[in-house]
Amino acid sequence: MQTVDRVDGAAVSPASTFTRLGVIGCGLMGSGIAEVAARAGLDVAVREVDRSALSAGRSRLVASLDRGVRGGKLSEAERDTVLGRLTFTTEIDAFGDRDVVVEAVAENEQVKSEIFAALDKVVSRPDAIFASNTSSIPIMKLGMATSRPEQVVGIHFFNPVPVQKLVEIVPSLLTSAETVNAAQGFVTERLGKEVIRSQDRAGFVVNALLVPYLLAAVRMLESGFAAADDIDRGMVLGCAHPMGPLRLSDLIGLDTIKAVAESLYEEFKEPLYSPPPLLMRMVDAGLLGKKSGRGFHNYAA
């Protein structure tokens, strides 16, 4: 196997040798990552915590592929070929032969760290890349849950993954340059995405800029300054944004917005990062946006 030597004598393989991807989590992000990878020709294993979540994730992925068929982007034969590259499991041991594993579970540091510790024990390839799709949790903390933090890196996709071209590559202080380069090559050469790099700080590049803007819109609504429709229409028609901030928050998920805001506030202690009470109450009520049927707008219909 062709390898690239590291300074410490270990090695990381070039992106072209990565053919087996593991995805931990099959929610909106995990299913999207799995779909993009399978459409790119990779052997993809997807893991969920139980059979119910696994079935829901598989149905979500199949529905996305079926939309591709109806939209003329895939033939039925191509859809079936993509599905044939996917395996679904509840067992972490199924990831033993993976070249790259992307964790895409909820924004919970303890849960993510436990996953990385478990992967460290089962993934046999010595130069495997361990990646997190986290949008806010420090990569350093996840890397230290393993015995190989130099191979742990942030690979942050954007929703919806099959549509959005951008991926943020986020190394920790201990991530090797070879891991970063291999991860970037994997994302660009194998998955066809575009990359920007960020330091390992809360929010990375995009969310550090985006989330304060979204929180400002929530505060404007909370104060009674303007209605949700008017706030969104103002930014779409007045600033040529493709979507207003409250509708975008609904699309991302209000629980995710809250988690990122809390991470940003914990790190920087800036008031603009603090989640507004309205956002916190909506998450408490299960009004999470589009995925729950209701957020700042109603999607039940």
Three-state secondary structure call for residue 196 = strand
- Beta bridge partner(s), residue 12: 4
Backbone angles phi, psi at 71, to 5 degrees: -85, 0
* Burial classification of residue 60, based on how many CB atoms lie within 10 Å of its CB (0-12 exposed, 13-18 middle, 19 or more buried): middle
End-to-end CA distance of the chain: 54
Closest alpha carbon to 257 in 214, 209, 202, 205: 214
Is-contact 221 277, C-beta < 8 A? no
Phi and psi, residue 69, nearest 5°: -65, -45
Catalytic residues: 135, 156, 168, 207
List the 20-24 sheet strands across, edge first: 86-89, 43-47, 20-24, 100-103, 129-132, 152-157, 166-171, 194-197
